[in-house]
Amino acid sequence: MKRVGVLVHPTRPVADALKALRSWTEERGFELVQIPHGEQPSVAPPGEVSSCDLIAALGGDGTVLKALHASAPTKTPVLGVACGSLGALTTTQEGALSIGLDRFAAGAWGAQQLPALGIRAAEGDIRWAINDFVVVRRGGTQLSIDVYASDELYVRMAGDGMVVATALGSSAYSMAAGGPLLTFDTGAFVCTPLEMHGGCAPPLVVPHDRELTLQVHPGHGGFRVESDGFEFVTEAERFGVVCEQAFATLVDTGDSRTGFPWLRRRGLIADSPRVLARRDAVVAAQSADPDNSL
């Protein structure tokens, strides 16, 4: 290793993590540079992703997403550092940053290859979404969308819109809209209708090697298009969506390939109250009588 890049959240307190990162790099004679990508305070001399061995993203999932998009062309690994939050993409908490960096330097880490959706509009431009791609109505009029998978018509729907998500993004907007939860290592993506008005179109799981096509028929209010939560302006009404299996590299020091531990910590998956009450009763009984065989 020679150089570490850093990308920081624009407003979240990252001083402690930044101090730890500076100390770690200085002690080892590594150069610390800042990757210019979006709004952020200046914390180090500017540098290029291509010259870095590692990108440390200090903040939360949004900051890690920015770092992953910036590092995707070179597949430079990204170490996500949670500063006051707990996210799906953060590898370590700020208090354990030095330990995480030591493990990376020692090679005691895994390269989690994250997929991304490639969205091609009529203009020919390609945009990438690591979490999800959303087409949603503006105003009060419904949006009609024709959905094709591998050029075969799936459904013509009317409603609020459509969210197309990677396996990683399936636990966000898509799940909130009633879509299925895909384990992080699932080789597929999911298309979930938003408040469909009549008809029947269950969320559709699409193999990663198939193309999805959305033909939009906007109402009077029009519609907007978002990629990873950011709106982008386009005149297109037809979108082709493909999945690239290894778009960016995330540093992984754990052994979970499902994402369940993170989902449970966040409360996105929760046990039945009846089961929890039974467990608490057993624990209480054992505490009162250690010799109890319950």
Q: Which residues are catalytic?
A: 61
CA 221 to chain centre: 30
Rounded CA separation 80/67 (Å): 9
CB 59 within 8 A of CB 12: yes
* Sheet of 161-165, strand order: 204-207, 188-194, 161-165, 132-137, 223-227, 230-231
Residue 36 C-beta-side C-alpha neighbours within 13 Å? 4
Q: In terms of C-beta density within 10 A (0-12 exposed, 13-18 middle, 19 or more buried), how is residue 131 classed? A: buried
Q: Which two tokens stand for residue 237?
A: 């009404």
CB 160 within 8 A of CB 194: yes
Instruction: Find the helix packing angle between 15-28 and 97-105, rounded to 10°.
Output: 30
Q: Which helix (H) or strand (E) holds 283?
A: helix 273-288
Residue type for position 28: R
Q: Which helix (H) or strand (E) holds 79?
A: strand 78-82
Rounded CA separation 261/220 (Å): 44
The SS3 of residue 293 is coil
